[in-house]
Amino acid sequence: MTKAQVVVRELHRIDEFAEVFRLFDEIWRPDPANPPVTVELMRVFSHTGGYVAGAYEGERLVGASVGLLAAGNALHSHVTGAEPGRGIGHALKRHQRAWCAERGIDHITWTFDPLVRRNAHFNLAKLGARPVEYVENFYGAMADAINEGDESDRLVVEWPVKEQEAPHVPYEGVVALEEEDGLPVRGQVKGPVALVGTPADIEALRRRDPSAAMAWRLAMREVLGGLMADGGRVTTFTEKGEYVVLIG
């Protein structure tokens, strides 16, 4: 039992995979032709040594994660979904890490939307994963209730299976991107550290003002994507919602 009061275990049966499919359908509400992962793929991943796990509160499935073995002795965590605000996602990640340690896997990779502030904080500040690549429109068009109408830019992150002490990096730096009246405002990029801000709630902004959401997408692509393409390294994420980037 974890701090979230759930039990996380591997899944192997078709009926379990169908349960995960239903949970993901409730979370993302995708177009029927665009599910996050199918029952058949979960069966294949599980059968061929990949990772399919569920978090249970009693008999009720409240979170799940699906991953596949990848190049470089890695597990790529393809999709993870859970009931929000209860620490279930963290419980799944800890189980995933222990699963990899038992198999001698060096690191875990996954992708997330760089505009989603809560995910950035969870992945970078809480878990200690680090972005290694910014990819434009990674999945193409995504027909679901969360991503509809936006392009699917993603940060690819790596998380070492063996816990490592994170180096201290000062948060002081030049503000390269910040929010003003809901819109992105670019600053000058200079000095050893750049701060790249994020919108308070990009998902609500997509519904309320799609043009403002797209402005954020393009600004993040230009600023954070540009810094990383030029060799910048994202070291953490601040409480104010900023990526801390070491330049050069």
Query: Which pLDDT tens digits describe the chain residue by residue (248 residues)?
Result: 445 689 999 999 999 999 999 999 999 998 888 899 999 999 999 999 999 999 999 999 999 999 999 999 999 999 999 998 889 999 999 999 999 999 999 999 999 999 999 999 999 999 999 999 999 999 887 766 577 678 899 999 999 999 876 656 666 789 999 999 999 999 988 889 999 999 999 999 999 999 999 999 999 999 999 999 999 999 999 999 999 999 97
- The closest of 91, 28, 44, 34 to 17, measured between CA atoms, is 44
Residue 196's pLDDT is 97
CB atoms within 10 A of CB 199: 24
CB atoms within 10 A of CB 149: 12
Residue 68's pLDDT is 97
| Pairwise CA distance, residues 192 & 190, whole Å | 7
Residue 1's pLDDT is 46
Classified as helix, coil or strand, 154 is strand
pTM, whole model, 2 decimals?
0.92
Residue 147's pLDDT is 75
Structure tokens at 117: 């502030």
- The closest of 77, 131, 84 to 243, measured between CA atoms, is 131
Domains along the chain with CATH numbers: 7-160 (3.40.630.30), 174-246 (no CATH)
Beta strand 174-180 with 193-197 is parallel
How many alpha carbons lie under 13 Å from residue 51 in its C-beta half-sphere? Answer: 30
